[in-house]
Amino acid sequence: MASLVFGAGQALAWEKDPDTTAGSATSVITGLLPPDATIGNLDTTLPGIGDDAVGIDDSLTSPPADPADSNPGTTYFVDNHTASDDNCPATPYTTIQAGIDASGPGDTVKVCPGTYPEQPLVMGHSHDGLKLESVKPLEAVVKWPAVDMPSATYPSGSHHLLEINTANQVTLRGFTITGPFNSGGCQVDRHEGVLVSNAFDGHIHHNHVTMIQDTNVLLYGCQQGDAVAIGWRNFPTPGSARVDHNQVDEYQKNGIQAVNQGTSLKADHNVVTGPNNAGVRAITAPNGFSIFNKAAATVDHNIVSNNHFARFPLSTGIILDESPAGSSRVDHNRVFNNDYGIESDTQINLEISHNDVFSNTGDGITLCGDAASLCGAAQDNIVLKNHITGNGGSGIILYSGTTPSGVSSNLLKDNLIENNGGTPPAILGETNTGGMHADHYSTNNTILNNHMQDNIAFDCYDESTPGPGTAGTSNTWQGDRGQTSSPPGICSAS
């Protein structure tokens, strides 16, 4: 069995997945005003997702009709006759690529039921506004060929199952998009299920993207196999898309990934489920969402679960690092049964709000600013009205490690944090856990009106260096409720 290619060692309290450091910078903008403590005062809803609908519901197999197009263009059908009784009209196009090649701006390519062993490429602005649709939901199957197919763009064979490149406002709807792929070895250009590169305002919805894994179990340690990728990771081209109402599962590395400056992702109402494949989990650390290297993202109303690394806790449900200041938000997600819930580092003015984060092996929400863990400073972020329960580590941890003021000037407000810390601390390397845990070099954070109970070892735990904050700490605790606290006085039991 191959070893983990990036060579991670035994985890401590938290370890950044080295996969999210490739090409990334850890410098941050400084000198911004910290969040105003009145933020959220008009929000009268309870912590967590509340009554909001998250995930796909039943619309994966019964999607609503697309809105009428004022300029519908020409419709082309594709049928390879591998499915019977599909009632599709006669058509000369037997491959998806042939239908794409025939189409022009604003046209529609409808793909009839069947399995299509090819790697479709939507290339160039001559396909702006193309709508690529399965005639019947999930019954047109784009299947990775046994060997990567060459094309004029990729003479040695493409590493992308379905790619949208330099074509704007392209819609991809209703397909099953599936591997596995035969990589032949770890590739600099990663194998990806759907790639949006130098293409903008795309819409990827109501698809099932699955089995984006290598055929060779000995190559599971290769850090590749992303189900949906916005921005071309190893070549610094951006992209933008709305990705919604998709089922994404059995990937090798990342479920939904966004990278590079200029990339923008809006991801909502997806169900992203990590691999059950024990071989993948043994030597690859899969993540649900991985957004980094200056990409911006709004991640909301998703269900994210089952991301685990078998050797030690490393995989994470939602990673959002290094986005432009004030550009990004993580809200109303249900994040459970991962190694870690939500992690952010090297981040300014990010909002993490109204998430249900529960039953993860390690910490529920992590703000990392520890340079030794490859994190830049985490400053001026808002963690608001999350319901965090039953995680093995701390509910919320401000992790500066050995970096003075690595996590500073953040607002943590109105969170409900209960029953965390059940995993023995030796497993995670934490000497103690807390409902809310500010570590040694976390400074000038405002911890306001949070409710914590039944957490191990403390509900409220601040080990920051002595300073002008509450009870001699370097942080301000105000209106927080907890049954146990260290030092005494940062929380009230009433």
More confident residue, 208 or 187: 208
* Entry field: residues in the chain: 494
Residue ranges covered by each domain of the chain: 12-55+279-287+309-494, 72-269
Of the candidates 278, 404, 383, the one whose C-alpha atom is nearest the C-alpha of residue 341 is: 383
What is the C-alpha separation between 262 and 293, in angstroms, rounded? 10
Q: Does residue 102 register a pLDDT over 90?
A: yes
Half-sphere exposure (CA, 13 Å, Cβ side) for 387? Answer: 11
Quote the pLDDT of residue 334.
Answer: 98
Quote the pLDDT of residue 272.
Answer: 98
- Collect all residues with Cβ–Cβ distance below 8 Å to 383 and sequence separation of at least 6: 352, 353, 365, 367, 396, 410, 411, 412, 413, 415
Kindly report, residue by residue over 235-274, the tens digit of the pLDDT.
889 999 999 999 999 999 999 999 999 999 999 999 999 9
pLDDT band at 156 (very low <50, low <70, confident <90, very high): confident
Quote the pLDDT of residue 438.
Answer: 96
Asked if residues 6 and 19 have their Cβ atoms less than 8 Å apart, the reply is yes
Mean pLDDT of 85-91: 87
Kindly report, residue by residue over 324-362, the tens digit of the pLDDT.
999 999 999 999 999 999 999 999 999 999 999 999 999
What is the C-alpha separation between 403 and 414, in angstroms, rounded? 27
User: What are the backbone dihedrals phi and psi of residue 460, each rounded to the nearest 5 degrees, phi first?
Assistant: -120, 120
Q: Does residue 315 register a pLDDT over 90?
A: yes
For the chain, the straight-line distance linking the first and the last C-alpha, in angstroms and rounded, comes to: 55
Quote the pLDDT of residue 6.
Answer: 40
Asked if residues 163 and 199 have their Cβ atoms less than 8 Å apart, the reply is no
Quote the pLDDT of residue 12.
Answer: 46
Kindly report, residue by residue over 424-479, the tens digit of the pLDDT.
555 556 678 899 999 999 999 999 999 999 999 899 999 999 999 999 999 999 99
Kindly report, residue by residue over 159-180, the tens digit of the pLDDT.
999 999 999 999 999 999 999 9
Q: Does residue 182 register a pLDDT over 80?
A: yes
pLDDT band at 7 (very low <50, low <70, confident <90, very high): very low
Mean pLDDT of the chain: 92
Kindly report, residue by residue over 110-141, the tens digit of the pLDDT.
999 999 999 999 999 999 999 999 999 999 99
**Helix or strand run (H / E) with residue 97:** helix 96-102
Asked if residues 138 and 178 have their Cβ atoms less than 8 Å apart, the reply is no
Quote the pLDDT of residue 165.
Answer: 97
Q: Does residue 190 register a pLDDT over 90?
A: yes
Question: Would you say the C-alpha torsion 328, 333, 338, 340 has a positive or negative sign?
Answer: positive
Half-sphere exposure (CA, 13 Å, Cβ side) for 240? Answer: 12
Residue where the block lists tokens 């002008």: 468
Quote the pLDDT of residue 85.
Answer: 76
Kindly report, residue by residue over 375-422, the tens digit of the pLDDT.
999 999 999 999 999 999 999 999 999 999 999 999 999 999 999 998
Burial class (CB in 10 A: 0-12, 13-18, 19+), 67: exposed
Asked if residues 381 and 349 have their Cβ atoms less than 8 Å apart, the reply is yes
More confident residue, 58 or 290: 290
pLDDT band at 4 (very low <50, low <70, confident <90, very high): very low
Quote the pLDDT of residue 24.
Answer: 46
DSSP-derived 3-state class of residue 76: strand
